[in-house]
Amino acid sequence: MPLPLNPLEWAALAYLALLWIGYDRYARHRACRQDDQPSLSRSLRRHREAWARRLLQRDMRMTDAGLLASQERVVGFFASTTLILLAAVLTALTSSAQIAELTSHIPFTQVQSTSQIEAKLALLLLILIYAFFKVTWSLRQYGFAAVVMGSAPQPNEELTPEQVQAFVKHLAKLMDSAGHDNNSCLRAYYFALSVVCWLAGTLPFLVAATIIVFVLYNREFGSSAVRGIQGAYIAPP
């Protein structure tokens, strides 16, 4: 039985894996660096630590609970959307022959067999499953953060500096981990778009995957939003 993908497509698949894994490691490296270079993850981590520290100084914490609940709603939206997309891809798998026929009539697209279409849709399905696991774990971690926030000591309780630092560190780390997993889901969405372009041929796929990395890089390290988050940080007393 012949393989569904030809050698060039296998090379393109390896290129996607290289871009995805390489970018993920680079982003984590930038997040851990202790310098002033813009980084979305590192800037948000500093704000989360400041939030946790100031939380301990407030008697009324309804605003904090509301902010965390709004983040949970956003993540929950992506979880629901991922399920809908999974159902759509499963439906498309049952119509692979029609999709192959349809794409063959589109100008400048590569003629593909039904097995090639099925293989690419299967890859898209795997990416969405990965995104679903990431976003649901992110949602659960935000729920854990809500529990930790609810157990936060009141301002009138006597705490040692070590206890304060431990609470701040671990609450910020928990929210940071939830944010990283949500970010991984969003990256999966972006790279899934390049796989959709693969249905039109290998060249559009390679171009789309490369552009996506540049878009992700700009949004996480070079955008005005990142500079605004970084510049708005004020260290708590």
A 10 A CB-CB count for 172 gives 21
Number of alpha helices (DSSP H) and beta strands (DSSP E) in the chain: 8, 0
Question: Half-sphere exposure of residue 206, counting CA atoms within 13 Å on the CB side?
Answer: 10
**Please, which pLDDT band fits residue 2 given cuts at 50, 70 and 90?**
very low
Could you give the CA distance from residue 170 to residue 49 in angstroms, rounded to a whole number? 9
- Domain residue limits, the chain: 7-231
- Tell the burial category of 111 from Cβ atoms under 10 Å away from its Cβ (0-12, 13-18, 19+): exposed
Q: What is the phi/psi pair of residue 122, to 5°?
A: -65, -40
Q: Which residue has the higher pLDDT, 99 or 193?
A: 193
Is the pTM of the predicted complex or chain greater than 0.85? yes
Q: pLDDT (tens digit, 9 = 90+) per residue, 71-100?
A: 899 999 999 999 999 999 998 888 888 877
Mean of pLDDT over the chain: 88
Could you give the CA distance from residue 86 to residue 130 in angstroms, rounded to a whole number? 11
Question: Half-sphere exposure of residue 65, counting CA atoms within 13 Å on the CB side?
Answer: 10
Q: pLDDT (tens digit, 9 = 90+) per residue, 6-27?
A: 788 889 999 999 999 999 999 9
- Six token digits for residue 139: 């949602």
Distances from the Cα of 54 to the Cα of 41, 86, 159, 229, 237, angstroms: 20, 41, 14, 18, 9
Q: pLDDT (tens digit, 9 = 90+) per residue, 35-71?
A: 778 889 999 999 999 999 999 988 888 888 898 999 8
Could you give the CA distance from residue 235 to residue 207 in angstroms, rounded to a whole number? 42
**CA angle, residues 175, 177, 178, in degrees to nearest 5:** 65
Q: Where are the alpha helices (DSSP H) in 105-201?
A: 114-150, 161-198
